[in-house]
Chains A and B, each alone.
Chain A
Amino acid sequence: MEGDRPGLERRADDARVVTGLWLALAQVAAILVGSAAAGYALAAAFLPPAAPRPERAAWGIALGLSLLAGSALLAFATGLSPVLAIMLAAALTLSAAAFVRRRGTSPVSPLSCRGRPTGVRAVTRPIHIFLALLAAFGVIVFSLRALAQPLWSNDFLAIWGLKGKILFAGAGIPRRLFTDPSLAFSHPEYPLGLPLLYASVCFLLGRWDDHALAVLFPFLQAATLLALFGWLRRRGASVALALAAAALLAQFEPLYSAFHTGLAEIPFSFVALLFGAAFSDVLDGTDRFAVRRLALAAFLAVSTKNEGLLLIAAAAVLALFAPRRASAASRSALAALLVPAVFLTGIGRLWKGSLPLRDFDFSYLTARIHELPPRIGEAIRTAFSEIVLPAWPGLLCLGALIAAGRSNASGNRLLALALISALAYLLLPSLAVAGPEWLVRTSFARTVSALAPLTATGIAIRLAEPRDS
């Protein structure tokens, strides 16, 4: 490692961009915490009063990050300075939160007695402290993986980071992102949620910093653990069970890896968990805010990855097959799912034009359908031999945990969402232009790992003892 390497000598005008790494990391952390604080205030409009603080914090983080990304879009559309647009969005958010608070919908602290039966306050036991420390250890370990060097994965350089950098540098969305053949590898058809978030953080930072941006990923991991813990607690799981699920998920290296840092899998895994939790809440009729949460989560899912549309389709199928007694809830769920999906897809189509999914050839579903069965076989064989079999010890443990659980609607629903999505990820490579084996090898483990929070939550809620609630 060299200090002032030949070819990279500092120039006089570089002084302003040379910033200590620790300071840069702290700046991004402050931006993320600030946005989460604004989101936390607004989260009162999305959660029932008795929602635990961790769950409110998780939704607050999702809202805060959406506001950041959304304000960049607002700035591009109106010509406002991006920093001004972000400040404006923050001021509007805080005003809206104050309005919600005045209307008396603010949540009650889980530590207060208001809105909660007395006598259920959890007692902190040594096992709770151990499990919390284990979860924190997982976040620290992932932070080391994530922060060790500037974001480097191919898909960061070719897709997510490239688009973010172009949005940041041009303070707008240039048409060439969708039309320039030399950028075809950047997947113009992918949603712009994450690049907008990158650009927005960098507007506040005052420079493009692809090392400091890595802070976002442990932050999202922590948000996912808060969402998992908070939802499980609200739905009756014991502190020990909710903490154990969070502690195990925090160690899940196939998702929280150095390679995934900078890509859309970790943001999507967080959104998928919020989505699954809200979807279950709507169908179970837990509270009147659940439909709002589901609509927000559906919006975020479609804005983060194309897999968001698959998740919505899976949920729509489950809602259609929900028991008749839940038909009103199913209709609400379908509306909350379909309105954001149709709206965002329509806007994207109008704005970007028709952009094909460049990795897939859909003629395998029509003219070349006779070639499909062997391709499906190839996809399944590759997935089993290269991804499923090497992971058998962990999968066996998961199987035992699922078998030991008690069937309940919420848990089954979350597992069904994860299973349908995983099956889609397994079968879609059979339409791959470059062959099923190639797409399974390059994407199956990555995309399936993003279903881990959803799966962990589904397994955990099935393990909750009836007396826990």
Chain B
Amino acid sequence: MSPRRAVVGLASALLLLVLLRQDDPERLRSRARLLGRMAPLDGTLRRLNGTAAAFDPQFYVFLESARRGLPPSTPGVAILGAPASSPAAYLATYHLAPVPVLVAPERVPPGWVLAVYGPQRPPGWKVIAPVWKGALMTPAS
């Protein structure tokens, strides 16, 4: 075997080892188990048990509950009380799409529904539907 071939063989073998070491076999097994456990569940439960909702699973349940409770042809949803983080804003916008979403806006656009996560109930708004850990609201007048 030429020295060049030996270098190629050795470097390739080492590179393979480096690449294979990146994945912990136990983590792979747990992924396989997770996939098996997720399969019988419906999409919302799979999402709830996944990484996207892990920062606050209750907030995801609130979003799904709000999505189900929105009146037909709602022009948009303003969310109050959401966790103050980008992942929360991304998840809310994605989950309620295509309905436009504003998280913690200074002002709620006319005709929009206010979805409040948590116990607070802003004055001047009435509850139109209770949702998980919160409420859907519209202007009282």
Contacts and interface: CB of A to CB of B under 8 A. Distances in A.
Interface string B4-22: 1001101110111011101
A180 B100 contact: yes
B108 interface: no
A20 B40 contact: yes
Contacts of B48: 5, 8
A352 interface: no
B64 A244 contact: no
A209 B90 contact: no
B138 to A, nearest CB: 20
Given A1-B45, A152-B50, A393-B18, A182 B86 contact: no
B94 interface: yes
B43 interface: yes
Most-contacted residue by chain B among A6, A152, A170 (CB, 10 A): A152
A6 B11 contact: no
Contact of A18 (B4, B42, B64): B42
Nearest to A162: B94
A208 B40 CA distance: 18
A401 interface: yes
Interface string A135-156: 0000001001101111010100
Contact of A248 (B12, B22, B44, B101): B12
Contacts of B14: 393, 397
B35 A394 contact: no
B34 interface: yes
A218 interface: no
B129 interface: no
Contacts of A251: 16, 19-20, 22
Contacts of A165: 94, 97-98
Given A182-B102, A211-B46, A248-B12, A148 B34 contact: yes
Contacts of B65: 7-8
B79 to A, nearest CB: 11
A404 B4 contact: yes
Contact of B35 (A6, A148, A463): A148
B73 interface: no
A400 B3 CA distance: 12
Interface in B28-60: 28, 31-32, 34-35, 37-52
A238 to B, nearest CB: 12
Contacts of B26: none
A144 B32 contact: yes
B61 interface: yes
Given A7-B64, A154-B90, A165-B94, A144 B31 contact: yes
A14 B8 CA distance: 57
A141 B97 CA distance: 32
A253 B19 contact: yes
B87 interface: yes
Contacts of A404: 4, 7-8, 11
Given A400-B7, A463-B8, A150 B100 contact: no
Nearest to A11: B68
Interface string A17-56: 1101110000000000000000000000000000000000
Contacts of B42: 10, 14, 17-18
A252 B7 contact: no
A185 interface: yes
B89 interface: yes
A397 B64 CA distance: 49
A74 interface: no
Contact of A176 (B7, B23, B91, B100): B100
A158 B94 contact: yes
Most-contacted residue by chain A among B34, B38, B61, B98 (CB, 10 A): B98
A178 to B, nearest CB: 14
Given A7-B61, A8-B45, A253-B22, A157 B15 contact: no
A11 B47 CA distance: 17
A8 B11 contact: no
B90 A158 contact: yes
B100 to A, nearest CB: 7
Contacts of B11: 397-398, 400-401, 404
A436 interface: no
B49 A1 contact: yes
A183 interface: yes
Contact of B87 (A154, A394, A398): A154
A18 B40 CA distance: 10
A157 B35 contact: no
Contacts of B100: 176, 180, 182
Most-contacted residue by chain B among A145, A253, A400, A404 (CB, 10 A): A404
Contacts of B16: 134, 247-248, 251
Most-contacted residue by chain A among B8, B18, B43, B98 (CB, 10 A): B43
Contacts of B93: 157-158, 162, 182-183, 186
Contacts of A113: none
A182 B43 CA distance: 26
29 contacts: A3-B45, A7-B133, A17-B43, A18-B43, A144-B35, A145-B31, A148-B35, A149-B49, A150-B43, A150-B50, A150-B52, A157-B52, A157-B94, A158-B90, A165-B94, A165-B98, A186-B93, A248-B19, A253-B19, A253-B23, A258-B31, A397-B12, A397-B18, A398-B15, A401-B8, A401-B11, A401-B12, A404-B4, A463-B8
Nearest 4 interchain pairs by C-beta: A7-B132, A149-B50, A397-B15, A169-B98
Given A254-B22, A393-B18, A400-B7, 5 more contacts: A150-B52, A157-B94, A182-B93, A210-B43, A400-B11
